[in-house]
Chains A and B, each alone.
Chain A
Amino acid sequence: MTIPDLDRRIIAATTGGLPLTPAPFAEVAGWLGISEDTVIDRMAAMQGAGVIRRVAIAPNHYALGLTANGMSVWDIDDARAIDLGAQVGALSFVSHCYLRPRADGWPYNLFAMIHGHNRDEVEALRTQIATLLGPSCRASDILYSTRILKKTGLRLTEGGL
């Protein structure tokens, strides 16, 4: 997808966030020397195209007590993977949910990041997913992160797996 130059300028101006003022889009418009209507129209178009997922606040999971997370992985019957993956992704405690290819020694095709207040809670939520998947799941595991080895400002994404 090619992004029009005007959209690129709006993106560059807002990747760090919007100003906390009553009329944030007018302020962005002022930075760029364009009209408020143009900013709103372009952002609405980008939202329609999926370039913008939403305009919202991001709460800090850690500050709100969600300090434990685990990457749960599941070997799901391919015929049911899309249907079951959609149900797992819709769970309120799953922040990322993808189908990925299996690999040698890696039978898992569904990845779901689980967040909880502690590891026991994450394990309980993992059991909840196992129940939902039922016999369509042949094997599963969960990987906890023990160390962040690198984290750069990938500010355009929501921070993937």
Chain B
Amino acid sequence: MTPLRRTPLTPDALDSTDRAILNRMQDGLPLVPYPFAALAQDLGLDEDALIARIQAMREIGAITRFGPFYDAEAMGGAFCLCAMAVPATRFDAVMTLVNAHPEVAHNYERTHRLNMWFVLACEKAAQIRQTADRIEREAGLPVLLFPKEHEFFIGFKVTA
């Protein structure tokens, strides 16, 4: 997999048709044998042209992925957002010991007294607390657990 592009494309990298494709295709495709043919008509393109444009946008890094978005929790995994207040002098050492746990899926430094935020991903719910306890012991610092209590439906869309 190519690494995620983290810099903006130049404004002329995409034309208005590309932008219409991006805007439309974030909403989801029909689960039918020829999903692109169904959409191409709406976008005023033929099927091959639509697929070629998606391919090209993937190559320049405008699109990161095409496919089903799975809900990992619905599939049985356990996840929990955690935070720690790590003294600046110990930050790198604590980061190293936290990241060494395979259950730590991602970890961000953030601008707050609670300056280290990571997500634990485990197979079973009980393993979340156990892993957090291990990290607490190793770091000698409290780990705050922020499990999801309610997830709201998201209207997020990147307007291309």
When the two chains form their complex, are residues A150 and B104 in contact, meaning their CB atoms are under 8 A apart?
Answer: yes
B33 to chain A, nearest CB (A): 6
Q: Is the interface of A mostly helix, strand, loop or mixed?
A: mixed
Central interface residue in A11, A63, A95, by most chain B CB within 10 Å? A63
When the two chains form their complex, are residues A43 and B61 in contact, meaning their CB atoms are under 8 A apart?
Answer: no
When the two chains form their complex, are residues B154 and A63 in contact, meaning their CB atoms are under 8 A apart?
Answer: no
Q: Which residues of B contact A36 (CB under 8 A)?
A: 33
A153 to chain B, nearest CB (A): 8
A25-B33, A53-B69 given; A63·B156 CB < 8 A: no
Central interface residue in A59, A62, A71, A158, by most chain B CB within 10 Å? A59
Pick from A96, A144, A149, A161: contact of B95, CB under 8 Å: A149
Q: Which residues of A contact B22 (CB under 8 A)?
A: 57, 59, 64
A51-B70, A91-B155, A160-B119 given; A58·B64 CB < 8 A: yes
A147 to B33, CA, bound (A): 43
A154 to B146, CA, bound (A): 19
Pick from A46, A47, A97: contact of B152, CB under 8 Å: A97
Pick from B76, B106, B155: contact of A94, CB under 8 Å: B155
Residues on B facing A (Cβ under 8 Å) = 1, 4-9, 22, 25-29, 31-37, 47-48, 51, 54-55, 58, 60-77, 79, 81, 83, 95, 98-99, 104-114, 116-119, 121, 144-160
